[in-house]
Amino acid sequence: MSEPGSRTLDVRVGSSTDALTPVSMAKRSLAARAPQWLGLSAVVLAAVAADQITKLIVSSQLALDESLHVVGPLSIHHVQNPGIAFGLFGGATSVVTALTALAVGWMLLYFARSGARHPVLPVALGLLIGGSTSNLIDRIRLGHVTDFLDFKYWPAFNLADSFIVVGVGILFVALVLSEAPRRKH
């Protein structure tokens, strides 16, 4: 047996949740908790609702390929896209559907494990998941995605596509801003 004085403990009050684990070994869980899940759910539901409602309005008010000029280069142009961005993979709707479902599942798993990592994750991933889910709903239900925002110089798109782009943009800015202080040191 060792003598009582020979054993060294690295105990620091407040160093971890049990106050016994050394600071160097303490780990904080980054898993999403109820507030993060609530935020993510609210953003996903709002994105899906906004996209589905606008697609319903466009498809009920404009015939396929009909267009309504709004202002400047912006028109509401009812088109159907069986593929992904720019009409790519139009003949592979089932593959695109499966890959989109896998991507949504991966994003949910990532959020479950890392939702507390950064305060913008519920919003950014909520937009990504909401936009992807809304387009996925269209692909499963209709076999295509309804696009309608047309700027003449860019292929027509919908709100879900916009939500996906904005979500990626938020993630990119958050990543750049979180790395900026580290590069200074």
Which residues have a catalytic role annotated?
A: 147, 161
- 70-91 b/e (C-beta count within 10 Å ≥ 16 → b): eeeeebbbbbbbbbbeeeeeee
Torsion sign (Cα): 161, 34, 38, 170: negative
Cα gap 120→46, rounded to integer Å: 16
Q: How many CA atoms lie within 13 A of 111 on its CB side?
A: 28
The beta strand positions in 66-121, using DSSP E, are 67-71, 74-81
